Every structure is written in C-alpha cells, then in structure tokens.
Amino acid sequence: LFCPPPLWASMLEIAFQVPWLYGTIGLFVLVAGLLFVGMKFIGRWISDQQLARVHPPNARKLSNEDFEALCCRTGLSRSEISRLYMSFMKITDGNSHEEAEKIIQEVPYFQGPLQDRMLSALKLPEQIDFVILASALSVFSERAALDDKMRFLFRLYSSDVTGTVSKQDLTNLMDDVLPEFPDDDERNRLIDRAVQGTFEELCGSSEDQELGMEQFQMAATPLIGERCTIFF
C-alpha cells in the first residue's frame, strides 16, 4: 500500500526546490543574523548584571559611551573592559583613583616573580584611574601592535633608563624567575652560562656588556605575540 510522506517531508522537499530555495537560504541567513545579534545583546546584559552586583554604591557606573570610548582607545573588547572594571572597583572600593602599586599587587594577572617590575615597565604614575589602567594594560591585548609589545618587554628586562639590557639586567631577571636549587653555586653557574651564551649568540661575542633594541628584537620577536598577550 502507498503511504503518503508526512507533511514536514513534503514541505522540506518544496523548500529546497527552485524558486523556493532562494527564499529558504534567505530565511536561514536572517535567522542566523537574528541569533547572532540576540546572543550579543544577551552577553552584554549578563556582563552588565555581573558588573552591577560588584559595583560599590559610591562608584561611578560606566555608560555605553564610556565602553565605546574605552574599547576604541585600548583595543580591548567590551567584556574585557567590564571584567577589568570589576577588578578595579573591588580593589579601590569604588574610588576613582588608587595607588598604582596597590593595583599591580592585587590585580590577579600579574602574580609572579616579575610583579615588582610591572610598575616601571607599564610607565604608570603613582596615582591612576581606570582609564589610565586600561590604557596601560592594552599592550597585552592580542590586537596591540607588536612594536608596543616589544617596547614594553624591553622595559621589563631593563632596570634603568639607558635604553639597553645589560648582562646584570639579564642575570637579575633569571635570578627572579629561576626556581631555587639545592646547590646555590650550581644555580649561579647555570645563570652565568645562560647569560654568556645569550650575549654570544645575539652580539657575536660574550664580551659585550649590553643589548640594544635591535639585538633584543632578534630574540624576542618569535615569542612576543604569545608571551605578551593576556585575555582579560
């Protein structure tokens, strides 16, 4: 006995025949676009609700114009700005300004042996507001220029304003990041060999005492995009 196909099967067959096919494709595109826009607004609403829950009563709230200006200024996304602002509000208890040293110590992204170097490497003043903080941290964005990341990393390695990275700078850096050894002499010898080898490879001689930006770029360029990026 002949069994007619169910109604939905007939409708699908018609939908994928010319000229109905073009209308079907258009409908799919329209629905996908509406879903994308809807999810975008839902994500923004969730972000705003999270921000409202931690927002101290005396703190200024960020408007849509504030978000747009900060996103344009820093290259960070609205979600990243929102999360950074939540951290800033918690640390400052709703105050508009705070000591930069306190912010660096309490922001979770900088926990580690290089934390003490961040203040000078980011070129932060003693007192900062959220705009200054977001602008400084924009160097960690995946959208930041590689030249900006390079200059930041160079300042992180250098301990002074001479515009170079000395052997002592590199020794101090390795001393900060290298874990403790049972034998301190062995640890010091390892650091010394690493420093001497680095200068010999980049400068052609271990007798040179300083690295300029050009030599520093030779070593840092392959890794800078990955190692100098934070997803806030």
Amino acid at 137: L
Distances (CA, A) of 149 to 78, 115, 156: 21, 17, 10
Q: Which of 115, 59, 124, 136 is nearest to 92 (CA)?
A: 59
Tell me whether strands 165-166 and 210-211 are parallel, antiparallel or unpaired: antiparallel
Average pLDDT over residues 194-218: 77
Q: Are 134 and 76 in contact (CB under 8 A)?
A: yes
pTM, two decimals, is 0.67
Could you read off the pLDDT of 174-197 as tens digits, one per residue? Answer: 888 788 888 888 888 888 888 888
Q: Are 109 and 230 in contact (CB under 8 A)?
A: yes
Could you read off the pLDDT of 80-137 as tens digits, one per residue? Answer: 898 899 889 888 888 888 999 999 999 888 888 888 888 888 999 999 999 999 999 9
What is the pLDDT at residue 116? 85
Q: Could you tell me what percent of the chain has a pLDDT over 70? A: 69
What gap in Å lies between CA 232 and CA 229, rounded to an integer? Answer: 9
Q: Are 82 and 50 in contact (CB under 8 A)?
A: yes
Greatest Cα pair distance, the chain, in angstroms, is 95
What is the pLDDT at residue 161? 58
What gap in Å lies between CA 85 and CA 43, rounded to an integer? Answer: 16
Distances (CA, A) of 79 to 42, 52, 133, 142: 12, 14, 16, 14
Place of tokens 């170097």: 117
Highest-pLDDT range among 48-57, 71-80, 174-183, 203-212:
71-80
Token readout for 180 is: 């403790």
